[in-house]
């Protein structure tokens, strides 16, 4: 049997197929009708119309012929001739349009026949028109009457053509109507089928599915309210509803099983209650005895908790609790012994830790002092490093300054050389000046001679030459003055040359001195470089020393911190030892231990030096249990300490 889902799918598919088939059929039929109507509107109707128009045009032609024959005036004749031509052209156009609407493969015989008849008619009347043209109206009218038979032949053929077209138009309309009628009945049948199918499927679901589901939901509500007697329908079905019904059946079965289990548990509980009531009497008796024992043990434990380790259980215990009494007493005994040993140990630890803390205090103090000294040393070294660095920098600066000086001195040497050459130039210029002065002197000499000659000539001329003699005298005086001036200049030049020579010598000396200075400056440069290098080395070394000192300082600081930590630890240890002693004092251990605890500090203070005490402590700590045993021997002979 199909599941509900598949049933639904099948139904929907059937409905869908019917719809699609119906739609396809309708579309196909509509296409056929459309074809027919298109044929009618596109071909048959126009052909019928054109045929009628051809008929009317031919009639018009004949009327025009009559008009032509009967025309009385030339204007009328011309009008009729024009009409004739127009109608003939119109007929030719119409018949061409008609031919264009012929189907492919359709016989053109009827149209050809119409055209033939028309052409025969037109040709037959050509003579008539000639008569009409020539004014022979009687002959023309005669021919017109005779041509009527030809025209009727043509008109009959024309009618046949029109009728045939009309018939075929009607036939196409009939075909379209037939297709429509057929389609209408087919679509009606399809719609009816689909409606029936839908109704059947709805009824099927109503009866077969919704009815059963309603009953199942009712049964589930009953089950939920606790009615387990309800019947479950439809468990035998094989679809989803059947599965649901089976699941609800399982719920029902589980409910019935749970009720059965609850009843069984109730019965068991009743049995257990009865057994418990039977046991309670025997238990009460044993409890009384146990309470007594517990009370005495509680008393013992109370005194123990109060620190009284000398307490023992001395009452007579029932035989089954005797073991408990013995064990308690033995435990307290052991505890007392152990506490005694712990008390002694605590005293010893206390005194030792005091010494340790004293020693570590001193150590911490010294370490701090050392750290302080190291810090001071580091600071001093830092300062020293700074000083050395400064002197190294100064040495560098001196080096640079000296180098600059050297450069300056070398430049000065160059200047001196230039000065010497300038002096040489001056000397050369002086020599040239001297030469020029010589020339001037020579000129003056020659002038003087000329003036003398002039004077002589003037003297020869007697009184007439007197004025000329005066002029010559003046020229001589001038020449002599020139000579004197030249002499003076010569003197000056020579003295200047001497001075220039001595200046050149001095400048040379300066140059030599400068060269010596340059050499010495070079030596100074080397020396300062050495100094600078040495200072750098010193600074580097000092930096290294400083780093070492800083390292030492750091280590010492760490030592100091550690010493302080150990001091704090030893103090804390001493406190802890005190606390231990105080705690142990809370216990009552018997008189012997107290006396020992009092005696030990007295022995410590009896004049041993600190070093001895320290050694003693070390010895005590290193020799361990044996030394401890030696000290404790006199007090507790009976105890076996090696074992402890």
Partner 1 sequence: MAASGDNQEEVRLITVRAGSQDFGLDMLAVREIRGWSQPTPLPQAPHFVCGMVQLRGTVIPVIDLGDRLGLGRTSPSAKSVLVMVDHGTRLVGLLVDSVSDLAVLPKASLQPAPQLCDGAGSGFVDATAALEGRILSILRLQSVIPELPAAAA
List C-alpha distances in Å: 525 to 388, 517, 536: 20, 12, 16
Sign of CA dihedral 180, 185, 186, 192: positive
When the beta carbons of 441 and 553 are compared against partner 1, the nearer one is 441
Cα separation, 247 vs 228, whole angstroms: 14
When the beta carbons of 448 and 570 are compared against partner 1, the nearer one is 448
CB crowding 102-138: b at 16 or more within 10 Å, else e: eeeeeeeebbebbbebbeebbeebeebbebbeeeeee
Cα separation, 54 vs 58, whole angstroms: 6
Q: How far is the CB of 432 from partner 1 (least distance, A)?
A: 19
Number of residues counted as binding partner 1 (CB under 8 A): 13
User: How many CB atoms sit inside 10 A of residue 163's CB?
Assistant: 12
Per the structure block, which two tokens stand in for 498? 């001497």
Q: How far is the CB of 497 from partner 1 (least distance, A)?
A: 21
When the beta carbons of 350 and 476 are compared against partner 1, the nearer one is 476
When the beta carbons of 17 and 459 are compared against partner 1, the nearer one is 459
Q: How far is the CB of 442 from partner 1 (least distance, A)?
A: 7
When the beta carbons of 147 and 483 are compared against partner 1, the nearer one is 483
Residues 6+ apart with CB under 8 A from 54: 91, 94, 95, 98, 114, 158
When the beta carbons of 373 and 446 are compared against partner 1, the nearer one is 446
Per the structure block, which two tokens stand in for 638? 């009976």
Question: x/- binding map, residues 183-222, to partner 1, per CB under 8 A?
Answer: ----------------------------------------
Window 472-511: residues binding partner 1 (CB under 8 A): 473
Query: 3-state SS of the chain: helix, strand, coil percent to 5?
Result: 90, 0, 10
Cα torsion 389, 394, 395, 398 to 10°: value is 170
When the beta carbons of 63 and 452 are compared against partner 1, the nearer one is 452
Q: Which of 274, 271, 269, 218 is nearest to 248 (CA)?
A: 218
Cα separation, 438 vs 306, whole angstroms: 149
The answer to whether residues 46 and 185 touch, using CB atoms and an 8 Å cutoff, is no
When the beta carbons of 149 and 446 are compared against partner 1, the nearer one is 446
When the beta carbons of 433 and 452 are compared against partner 1, the nearer one is 452
When the beta carbons of 440 and 581 are compared against partner 1, the nearer one is 440
Q: How far is the CB of 450 from partner 1 (least distance, A)?
A: 9
Cα separation, 196 vs 230, whole angstroms: 39
When the beta carbons of 63 and 440 are compared against partner 1, the nearer one is 440
Cα separation, 78 vs 71, whole angstroms: 9
Per the structure block, which two tokens stand in for 422? 């300038």
Q: How far is the CB of 476 from partner 1 (least distance, A)?
A: 8
**Backbone Cα Rg of the chain:** 81
Q: How far is the CB of 519 from partner 1 (least distance, A)?
A: 52
Q: How far is the CB of 419 from partner 1 (least distance, A)?
A: 36
Q: How far is the CB of 491 from partner 1 (least distance, A)?
A: 17
Cα separation, 542 vs 391, whole angstroms: 13
When the beta carbons of 475 and 636 are compared against partner 1, the nearer one is 475
Q: How far is the CB of 496 from partner 1 (least distance, A)?
A: 23
Q: How far is the CB of 492 from partner 1 (least distance, A)?
A: 20
Per the structure block, which two tokens stand in for 436? 């020029």
Task: Give the bridge partners for 588, in sequence order.
Answer: 308
> Which segments within 534-631 are labelled E, that is strand?
none
Q: How far is the CB of 504 from partner 1 (least distance, A)?
A: 30
Residues 6+ apart with CB under 8 A from 20: none
Window 415-474: residues binding partner 1 (CB under 8 A): 442, 445-446, 448-449, 452-453, 455-456, 459-460, 469, 473
Question: x/- binding map, residues 219-238, to partner 1, per CB under 8 A?
Answer: --------------------
Cα separation, 589 vs 310, whole angstroms: 7
Q: How far is the CB of 435 from partner 1 (least distance, A)?
A: 13
**Three-state DSSP class for residue 218:** helix
Cα–chain center distance at 425:
85
Residues 6+ apart with CB under 8 A from 426: 496, 500
Q: How far is the CB of 475 from partner 1 (least distance, A)?
A: 12
When the beta carbons of 313 and 444 are compared against partner 1, the nearer one is 444
Q: Which residues bind partner 1 (CB under 8 A)?
A: 442, 445-446, 448-449, 452-453, 455-456, 459-460, 469, 473
């Amino acid at each position: 049997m199909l599941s509900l889902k598949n049933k639904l799918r099948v139904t929907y598919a059937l409905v869908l197929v019917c719809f699609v088939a119906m739609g396809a059929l309708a579309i196909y039929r509509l296409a056929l009708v459309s074809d027919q109507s298109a044929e009618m509107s596109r071909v048959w109707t126009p052909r019928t119309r054109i045929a009628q128009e051809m008929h009317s045009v031919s009639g018009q032609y004949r009327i025009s012929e009559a008009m032509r024959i009967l025309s009385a005036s030339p204007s009328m004749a011309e009008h009729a001739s024009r009409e004739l031509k127009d109608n003939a052209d119109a007929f030719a156009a119409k018949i061409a349009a008609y031919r264009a609407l012929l189907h492919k493969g359709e016989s053109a015989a009827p149209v050809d026949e119409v055209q033939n008849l028309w052409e025969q008619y037109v040709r037959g009347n050509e003579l008539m028109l000639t008569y009409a043209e020539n004014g022979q109206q009687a002959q023309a009218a005669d021919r017109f009457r005779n041509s009527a038979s030809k025209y009727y032949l043509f008109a009959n053929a024309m009618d046949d053509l029109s009728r045939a077209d009309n018939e075929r138009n009607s036939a196409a309309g009939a075909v379209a109507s037939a297709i429509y009628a057929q389609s209408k009945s087919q679509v009606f049948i399809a719609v009816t089928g689909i409606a029936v199918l839908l109704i059947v499927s709805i009824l099927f679901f109503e009866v077969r599915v919704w009815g059963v589901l309603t009953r199942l939901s009712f049964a589930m509500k009953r089950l939920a309210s606790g009615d387990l007697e309800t019947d479950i329908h439809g468990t035998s079905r094989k679809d989803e509803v059947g599965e649901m019904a089976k699941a609800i059946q399982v719920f029902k079965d589980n409910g019935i099983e749970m009720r059965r289990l609850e009843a069984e548990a109730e019965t068991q509980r009743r049995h257990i209650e009865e057994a418990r009531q039977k046991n309670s009497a025997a238990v009460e008796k044993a409890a009384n005895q146990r309470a007594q024992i517990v009370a005495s043990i509680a008393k013992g434990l109370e005194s123990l908790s109060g620190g009284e380790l000398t307490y023992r259980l001395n009452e007579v215990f029932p035989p089954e609790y005797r073991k408990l009494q013995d064990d308690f007493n033995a435990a307290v005994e052991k505890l007392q012994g152990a506490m005694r040993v712990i008390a002694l140990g605590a005293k010893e630890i206390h005194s030792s830790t005091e010494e340790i803390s004293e020693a570590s205090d001193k150590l911490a103090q010294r370490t701090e002092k050392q750290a302080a000294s190291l810090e001071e040393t580091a600071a001093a070294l830092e300062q020293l490093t700074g000083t050395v660095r400064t002197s190294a920098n100064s040495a560098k600066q001196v080096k640079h300054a000296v180098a600059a000086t050297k450069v300056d001195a070398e430049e000065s040497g160059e200047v001196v050389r230039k000065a010497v050459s300038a002096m040489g130039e001056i000397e050369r210029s002086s020599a040239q000046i001297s030469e020029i002065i010589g020339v001037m002197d020579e000129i003056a000499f020659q002038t003087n001679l000329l003036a003398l000659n002039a004077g002589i000539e003037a003297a020869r001329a007697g009184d007439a030459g007197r004025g000329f003699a005066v002029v010559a005298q003046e020229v001589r005086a001038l020449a002599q003055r020139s000579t004197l001036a030249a002499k003076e200049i010569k003197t000056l030049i020579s003295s200047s040359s001497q001075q220039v020579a001595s200046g050149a010598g001095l400048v040379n000396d300066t140059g030599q001195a400068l060269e010596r200075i340059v050499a010495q400056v070079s030596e100074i440069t080397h020396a300062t470089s050495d100094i600078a290098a040495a200072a750098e080395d010193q600074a580097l070394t000092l930096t290294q020393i400083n780093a070492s000192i800083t390292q030492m300082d750091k280590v010492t600081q760490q030592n100091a911190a550690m010493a302080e930590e150990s001091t704090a630890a030893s103090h804390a240890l001493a406190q802890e030892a005190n606390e231990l002693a105080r705690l142990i004092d809370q216990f009552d251990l018997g008189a012997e231990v107290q006396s020992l605890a009092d005696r030990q500090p007295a022995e410590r203070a009896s004049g041993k030096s600190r070093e001895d005490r320290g050694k003693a402590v070390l010895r005590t700590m290193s020799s361990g249990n044996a030394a401890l045993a030696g000290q404790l021997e006199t007090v507790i002979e009976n105890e076996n300490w090696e074992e402890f």
